[in-house]
Amino acid sequence: MPRFSDIIVRSTVTAFVVSAMSAASAGIDLTPSPSEYVAEGMKHQQLTFVQDKQRIKYELPAGWRYDGGGAQVHLTPPNKKFAEATITAAPLAKPEALDENTIKVLEQQFVAALPLGSQFVKIEEEIPNSVLLSGNPSFEVTASYQLNGEKFLKSALFVDLRDTQLVFRLSARKGDFPALHREFKSSIFSWHWIDSEPGHSAVAKEAEQPAAR
């Protein structure tokens, strides 16, 4: 009989493959279109994603790089080895509540997806609704673990929309994690939808300049 942990791992892998193949059906395309703006003498880089007839604006943490698209965007902070973040969009078959049962399953999947060989895994923090994107509920979990003799922390912020689950993940060495987590968490608050219907042309025609990666 297969172990419960094996079932969770297989379920997590299957869910990721389905999300990668079904980004369009989720309604959110995370293929980034970059732009820049200057405020108070500083240049800020934004990524624009698409959901149906709306655009989504997201401001990168300063100096972070990005790649990927479709169902997942990969972010890399500067000069921090073994640190990375991802934003993923996975379709939901139906709206779901972030209740106790759902949170328990998400936490199990989160732990099962830690790097192979992780030791001394410990849930460090669980925070409901630490970020509210347009009023949608969220759940954040952070775990510590040891890998190849080094201590790491990893967090995942789950946001359930009507037909899509957004997940913002960050992993880094224990010493680097707090500052990077603050930067990444602050950037999530910049995530917002822009209505691009004909009646909102002033917003839709917002000036943008192509940005180099």
- Helix (H) / strand (E) element for 118: namely none
What's the mean pLDDT in 70-97?
93
- Amino acid 65 reads R
For residue 196, what pLDDT is reported? 53
At 98-148, the pLDDT tens digits run 899 999 999 999 999 999 999 999 999 999 999 988 889 999 999 999 999
Looking at the domain assignment, is residue 211 inside a domain?
no
Looking at the domain assignment, is residue 213 inside a domain?
no
Tally of domains within the chain: 1
Looking at the domain assignment, is residue 68 inside a domain?
yes
What's the mean pLDDT in 15-32?
58
Query: In CATH, what number is assigned to the domain containing residue 126?
Result: 3.40.1000.10
Looking at the domain assignment, is residue 209 inside a domain?
no
Where is pLDDT greater, at 200 or 121? 121
Looking at the domain assignment, is residue 26 inside a domain?
yes
Looking at the domain assignment, is residue 108 inside a domain?
yes
At 65-76, the pLDDT tens digits run 999 999 999 999
- Contact between 169 and 89 (Cβ < 8 Å): no
Looking at the domain assignment, is residue 118 inside a domain?
yes
Q: Which domain holds residue 198?
A: 4-204
Of 145, 14, 157, nearest to 88 by C-alpha is: 157
Looking at the domain assignment, is residue 212 inside a domain?
no
